[in-house]
């Protein structure tokens, strides 16, 4: 990780520790929610690595925090709420839904790029075969 990534990882780890302590939970509890072991969670909380995109989405949904708060981009309360028609406050899910759409779009782009790479490899193989065939033809014509 470069310095900027290290700083971001530390910030996210600090936010997760704060969130976990506010919920009076231990690292194993949070690790279970993320589907990882306690050691892997400890690396995230200590700033040694960032959570994956999927883990980030789980954190946002499960603990009702905003992406901006989790990433340390705002000091505003992590709780994201909207007022419903009865005047009651409910957790906002728009941000998480938007993140899921962005992830799906990126996955689609990656899949398209993989298909393009496979196509280019086939073309390269075909050119290589044609080049070898042309070499044989030239050799035959020259009597080799």
| Residue ranges of domains in the chain | 3-92
Query: What share of the chain in percent tops pLDDT 70?
Result: 82
Taking alpha carbons only, the member of 143, 4, 3, 144 closest to residue 71 is: 4
Residue 117 has pLDDT above 50, yes or no: yes
Read off the pLDDT band of 116 (50, 70, 90): very high
Residue 75 has pLDDT above 70, yes or no: no
Q: What is the mean pLDDT of the chain?
A: 81
User: What is the rounded CA–CA span in Å between residue 137 and residue 141?
Assistant: 6
Residue 63 has pLDDT above 90, yes or no: no
* Mean pLDDT calculated for residue range 22-51: 93
pTM above 0.75, yes or no: no
* Mean pLDDT calculated for residue range 72-85: 56
User: What is the rounded CA–CA span in Å between residue 55 and residue 60?
Assistant: 9
Q: What is the pLDDT of residue 90?
A: 43
Taking alpha carbons only, the member of 54, 83, 65 closest to residue 22 is: 65
Q: What is the pLDDT of residue 2?
A: 79
Residue 88: partners with Cβ closer than 8 Å, 6 or more residues away = none
Q: What is the full DSSP assignment across 56-88?
A: HHHHHHHHTB-HHHHTTS--S-SB-EEE-TTS-
Domain 3-92 matching CATH 1.10.357.10: the answer reads no
Residue 48: partners with Cβ closer than 8 Å, 6 or more residues away = 9, 13
Q: Where is average pLDDT lowest: 23-27, 47-51, 105-109?
A: 105-109
Q: What is the pLDDT of residue 45?
A: 94
* Highest mean predicted confidence (pLDDT) among 39-43, 55-59, 63-67, 70-74: 39-43
Tokens of 107: 């996955």
């Amino acid at each position: 990780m470069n310095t900027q990534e290290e700083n971001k990882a530390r910030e996210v780890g600090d936010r997760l520790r704060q969130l976990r302590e506010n919920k009076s939970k231990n690292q194993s509890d949070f690790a279970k929610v993320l589907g990882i072991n306690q050691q892997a969670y400890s690396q995230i909380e200590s700033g040694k690595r960032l959570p994956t995109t999927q883990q980030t989405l789980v954190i946002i949904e499960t603990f009702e925090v905003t992406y901006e708060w989790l990433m340390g981009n705002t000091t505003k309360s992590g709780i994201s709420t909207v007022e419903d028609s009865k005047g009651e406050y409910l957790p906002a899910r728009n941000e998480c839904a938007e993140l899921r759409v962005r992830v799906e779009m990126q996955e689609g782009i990656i899949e398209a790029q993989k298909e393009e790479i496979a196509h280019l490899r086939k073309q390269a193989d075909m050119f290589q075969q044609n080049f070898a065939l042309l070499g044989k033809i030239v050799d035959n014509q020259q009597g080799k």
